[in-house]
Amino acid sequence: MMRVMSAADLRHQFLQALAPESQFYRLFDHLPGISFFAKNSRFQFVCANQHFVESLGFTEETDLIGKEDFDIFPQRLAENFRRDDEEVLKTGQARLNIVELFFNPQGIPDWFITHKMPMHDKRGRIIGIMGTTQSYGQAVQNVHPYLHIDRALAYIREHFKERISIEELAEMVHLSTRQLHRKFVETFGCSPQAFIMKLRVQAGCEALQREDAQISQVATDLGFCDQSSFTHHFHKLMGMTPLRFQRQFRLVRR
């Protein structure tokens, strides 16, 4: 009598038989707006779908392979990506719904949602990371339609440098302040107030990298009551003062 294989055995047998050049991740090329990537334990890109490749300004996947985040992204972003990667490699636990902020030249933020998972070899050892990233707008439509905070996020995106009333945000999306708080914690891991402050500080990181940037003016432009308040919140989130960040960035550029 032929032995009936368990589901785990059947899956294992099939994956074992895959040829290295199968490139199953090419399927992501047919999912609009979704980027796929994989890195080895040295944080080098080893494969990516075409959308990810082109979004970074490359033409072919081979142009990207072997590069690290620090070869492609601004220092601050690369540091954020590396911290997440190190955590996945160290703990072996997936990091899901990572919200990452990018600012366009006009200083307007756009959000992306990234998922990262560890990759294992045949012996179960972690040998790398694979992940996907997608603009938050698309992810909301396709993955998180139940959150009901789209309008609040759109408002924050346009007005984060101003004083924003949490009560008005909640009314805007027809939720109580407690419900709005819960939705933000579920999605971003923090309260609406903390989210806005994080956005302001990250905008501050971008602004401080300009050649003529003055800390006091950056603080004013971002809606802080004074430079002291900006320094306090910046240090709390970034682990250093704005002045130290600015000096470190300029030292790296040299």
pLDDT of residue 145: 43
Q: Look up the domain containing 171 and give its range.
A: 146-253
Q: Please indicate, yes or no, whether residues 107 and 215 belong to a single structural domain of this protein.
A: no
- Does residue 5 fall inside a structural domain? no
Q: Please indicate, yes or no, whether residues 49 and 120 belong to a single structural domain of this protein.
A: yes
Q: Please indicate, yes or no, whether residues 95 and 172 belong to a single structural domain of this protein.
A: no
Q: Please indicate, yes or no, whether residues 95 and 191 belong to a single structural domain of this protein.
A: no
What are the CA-CA distances from residue 170 to residues 136, 153, 195, 214 (Å)? 20, 11, 14, 35
pLDDT of residue 7: 83
- CATH number of the domain that 215 lies in? 1.10.10.60
pLDDT of residue 146: 43
Q: Please indicate, yes or no, whether residues 233 and 214 belong to a single structural domain of this protein.
A: yes
- CATH number of the domain that 44 lies in? 3.30.450.20
Q: Please indicate, yes or no, whether residues 212 and 119 belong to a single structural domain of this protein.
A: no
**Number of domains the chain contains:** 2
Which residue is listed with tokens 């914690």? 185
Q: Please indicate, yes or no, whether residues 112 and 186 belong to a single structural domain of this protein.
A: no
Q: Please indicate, yes or no, whether residues 61 and 169 belong to a single structural domain of this protein.
A: no
Q: Please indicate, yes or no, whether residues 29 and 136 belong to a single structural domain of this protein.
A: yes
Residue finishing a domain among 87, 112, 140: 140
Per-residue 3-state assignment (H helix, E strand, C coil) for the chain: CCCCCCHHHHHHHHHHHCCHHHCHHHHHHHCCCCEEEEEECCCCEEEECHHHHHHCCCCCHHHHCCCCHHHHCCHHHHHHHHHHHHHHHHHCCCEEEEEEEEECCCCCEEEEEEEEEEEECCCCCEEEEEEEEEEHHHHHHHCCCCCCCHHHHHHHHHHCCCCCCHHHHHHHCCCCHHHHHHHHHHHHCCCHHHHHHHHHHHHHHHHHCCCCCCHHHHHHHCCCCCHHHHHHHHHHHHCCCHHHHHHHHHHHHC
Distance from C-alpha of 125 to C-alpha of 123, rounded to nearest angstrom: 6
- Does residue 14 fall inside a structural domain? no
Residues in CB range of 42: below 8 A, 6 or more apart: 68
pLDDT of residue 2: 57
Q: Give the mean pLDDT per block of 10 residues along the chain (254 residues).
A: 74 78 81 90 95 89 94 80 94 87 62 90 92 74 58 88 94 93 83 91 86 92 94 88 83 53
- Does residue 1 fall inside a structural domain? no
For the stretch 69-126, pLDDT in tens is 999 887 777 888 999 999 999 999 999 888 776 665 555 667 788 999 999 988 889 9
